[in-house]
Structure 1
Amino acid sequence: MAVTPALVDSHCHIVFRNFDDDLDAVSQRWREAGVQALVHACVEPAEIPAIRALADRFPELRYSVGVHPLDTQHWRDDTAAVLRQAAQDDARVVAIGELGLDLFRETNLEQQVAMLEPQLDLAVELDLPVIVHCRDAADPMLALLRQRAERGACPAGVMHCWGGTPEEMAAFLELGFYISFSGTVTFPKAEATHACARQVPADRYLVETDCPFLAPVPRRGKRNEPAFVASVAARVAELRGETLTQVALTSTSNAARLFSLPLHNV
């Protein structure tokens, strides 16, 4: 019987209500698929108690704390302090985020930056990586991160759910970021993402589901779940001309290094 290679779903959202009725079955499927660890992203502070409860329930789960760029209405004067306390209270917090910029759905760049900067500051203060959401906003994100890098205030992190060009990828790699591929890498028309998967250095990529969104082919349009990260890894392997085992070992090692995950044999 073939041994399933260990995988890390480096970005998921199983706290969402569409997992309420069958989460035990979902967890059984991710374990059967070889998912050894999950990193649960946070989109706003009200989620933190429920995500923490999931970490209590599933020992392989680690999580981030942060505010998504499309959730600026949840940013308050004390939000940075709330995130700091949450991160300091639980060693299972391994990142700040999901933070970033999104100019695909919104145009409030100034407001998003005003929320992004203190979260980046917090990541530097706590020496935690960031999980970056960047949609139609590569230029302003790169400008901001380069300015921070010049003064030694750019944290480590990952560009989650990568959908940019190879040129944009190279710029984020130069800043030290990892690149994470989601179900979009399985979409036939995602040619730029395919090119990035081929070109990204072996020590700088992760795989993720971003579930319940972006289910990979052949499940596109249905609810995504952590087990389907195996389909993402398989497509990355195909694009790179490697085996699934190679991609699983490499992406798992990269995720363990970035997020300080307590994994064995990586």
Structure 2
Amino acid sequence: MVDSHCHIVFRNFDDDLEEVSRRWRDAGVKALVHACVEPGEIGAIRALADRFPELRYSVGVHPLDTQHWHHDTAAVLRQAARSDSRVVAIGELGLDLFRDQNLEQQLATLEPQLDLAVELDLPVIVHCRDAAEPMLNLLRQRADRGACPRGVMHCWGGSPEEMAAFLELGFLISFSGTVTFPKAAATHACAQLVPADRYLIETDCPFLAPVPRRGKRNEPAFVASVAARMAELRGETLTEVALTSSSNAAGLFGLTLHTV
């Protein structure tokens, strides 16, 4: 399996990261994509990639971290991406109107990152919460002028209709621990409907631990629970979901075969 979105740089992994890594390897996780929320993390994430050869990472600014966007941030991200082949995406970028209402500021941070992804021919990792309409409007405008990067809608929580719109734009859909939550009916429907070649699985750890560990710290090994629930919803085997989602992740992020 590939955990296509994690945050093990956070301090709550400081004391037991070696044990955490043993658990993800024992669970069959062969590759991880570590998302970045602001440039100050890049050095520490790069050090994690040195420590764990199965780890690849993104560089970017999260929509809830717009205070970290400065006049030179695009140049900082460009240099970081160009200087390390283990950078496989730009992000985590996007829009979040659930926690913040500063749409114009978020767009001002988002647009140059989308430009950078197109420039560097890298996929984007998109965070989109309560913001499907403005995100779709922006991406459709960019698609019309040939400036919409490929990418993945991370930690999917939208409706089947919204999913169809992002799929039409060429995006993949990534399912997290929320797909295991009993009341997540829309996410369950999306998991059943998404085409086999268009989905990923992730943990978004340390957040959103899947059932039966809900409410506890999440970790990459728990992506197995996401895969198991996806298999139930899709009427497939765990092996089928693991291999399909891994192949999709390898295709999107350019992971080499020995990584997966």
State the TM-score, normalized to the length of structure 1.
Answer: 0.97
Assess if the C-alpha contact under 8 Å between 2:177 and 2:226 holds in 1.
yes
The equivalent of 2:167 in structure 1 is: 173
Opposite residue 117 of structure 1, the aligned amino acid is E
Distance 1:26 1:257 in 2: 26
Opposite residue 34 of structure 2, the aligned amino acid is H
Matched, 1:192 2:178: no
Question: Cα deviations across residues 184-206 of structure 1 (Å, max 9, x unaligned)?
Answer: 00000000000000000000000
Opposite residue 21 of structure 2, the aligned amino acid is S
The equivalent of 2:49 in structure 1 is: 55
| Equivalent of residue 238 in structure 1, options 226, 232, 252 | 232
Assess if the C-alpha contact under 8 Å between 2:6 and 2:220 holds in 1.
yes
Distance 2:155 2:241 in 1: 17
Q: What SS class does the counterpart of residue 214 from structure 1 fall into?
A: coil
RMSD: 0.8
Distance 1:263 1:133 in 2: 27
The equivalent of 2:204 in structure 1 is: 210
Matched, 1:95 2:89: yes
Opposite residue 142 of structure 1, the aligned amino acid is L
Distance 1:88 1:137 in 2: 30
The structural deviation recorded for 1:97 is 0.0
Specify every segment of 5 or more residues in structure 2 that has no aligned partner in the other structure, as ranges: none
| Equivalent of residue 125 in structure 1, options 104, 119, 124 | 119
The structural deviation recorded for 1:262 is 1.3
Distance 1:262 1:95 in 2: 15
Q: What SS class does the counterpart of residue 251 from structure 2 fall into?
A: helix
Opposite residue 90 of structure 1, the aligned amino acid is D
The equivalent of 2:106 in structure 1 is: 112
Q: Percent identity?
A: 87
Matched, 1:182 2:176: yes
Question: Cα deviations across residues 40-61 of structure 1 (Å, max 9, x unaligned)?
Answer: 0000000000000000000000
Q: What SS class does the counterpart of residue 220 from structure 1 fall into?
A: coil
Assess if the C-alpha contact under 8 Å between 2:30 and 2:259 holds in 1.
no
| Equivalent of residue 21 in structure 2, options 13, 17, 27 | 27
Matched, 1:146 2:140: yes
Question: Cα deviations across residues 152-201 of structure 1 (Å, max 9, x unaligned)?
Answer: 00000000000000000000000000000000000000000000000000
The equivalent of 1:4 in structure 2 is: none
Aligned in 2, Cα 1:37/1:118: closer, same or farther, shift over 3 Å?
Answer: same
Please identify runs of 4+ aligned residues in structure 1 that moved more than 6 A.
none
Distance 1:123 1:47 in 2: 19
Question: Cα deviations across residues 214-241 of structure 1 (Å, max 9, x unaligned)?
Answer: 0000000000000000000000000000
The equivalent of 2:69 in structure 1 is: 75
State the TM-score, normalized to the length of structure 2.
Answer: 0.99
The structural deviation recorded for 1:11 is 0.0
Distance 1:262 1:59 in 2: 12
Opposite residue 109 of structure 1, the aligned amino acid is L
Question: Cα deviations across residues 3-58 of structure 1 (Å, max 9, x unaligned)?
Answer: xxxx0000000000000000000000000000000000000000000000000000
The structural deviation recorded for 1:263 is 2.4
